[in-house]
Amino acid sequence: MQTCSKYILSSALFKRFKPKGFTLIELIVVITIATIIMTAIIIQQGRWNDHLAVNTQAYELALIIRQAQIYSLGVKEYAAGTGDKFNIGYGISVNEDNPGQYVYFADKNKNQRYDSGEEIETKTFTGRVAINRFCGLDSGGGERCSPNAGNVHTLCISFFRPEPEANILLLNSDGNPSSSVNPPATIYLRSPGGEEASIKVETNGQVSIAQ
């Protein structure tokens, strides 16, 4: 009887203090779920970084275009002591050969395009963002984009006082205005992950960003 009581007591204590843990199957399931969650987070983080990078560069380009407009209307002197205030405009130029950059320039000869010696600053996109294409409209109102839009090679957007309107030139590889592509102009930026943002410039001077 005493032996039986000891056995029952020992069994009760074993059940009470029995070690607990994961089985192999439970451990595999937990690791699988954690891996799926972490993978989703990493992918989403990459997309967010791409989205942030391309939008940041789009806003910066739009601000430079707006700055060119303000400098033109505000009679900004090109260089200290030159007196060049009333006879020049400001603008930006992009071309197919340098999709990772654009030029901010002073249009000293008022020909509405960027020429050698007019550069104020060459801006480089960060985060590996680049210009994917720039577009105008055809005669039917459809969008036509570089590089297949009537041999469009360069886009120049400039402003001159006293008007806020944008002068938009879509030039072919010879430097002549395209006869088949017309304003307004839209510049599309793309991130390495494929995220896009666009900057549209109307002839009335309005600048807008689409994501």
Domains of the chain and any CATH numbers: 45-210 (3.55.40)
* The predicted structure's pLDDT at residue 90: 94
Confidence class for position 205, pLDDT limits 50, 70, 90: very high
Which residue did the predictor score with more confidence, 125 or 43? 125
3-state secondary structure of 184: strand
Per-residue pLDDT tens digits for 170-204: 998 888 888 888 899 999 999 998 999 999 999 99
Residue 80 neighbours by CB distance under 10 Å? 6
* The predicted structure's pLDDT at residue 128: 93
| Ramachandran sector of residue 87 (left: φ over 0; alpha: ψ -120 to 50; beta: rest) | alpha
How far is 72 from 173, CA to CA, in rounded Å? 28
**Strand pairing category for 182-190 and 196-201:** antiparallel
How far is 141 from 160, CA to CA, in rounded Å? 27
Three-class HEC string of 2-41? HHHHHHHHHHHHHHHCCCCCCCHHHHHHHHHHHHHHHHHH
In the chain, % of residues over pLDDT 70: 80
Residues in the chain: 211
pTM of the model: 0.76
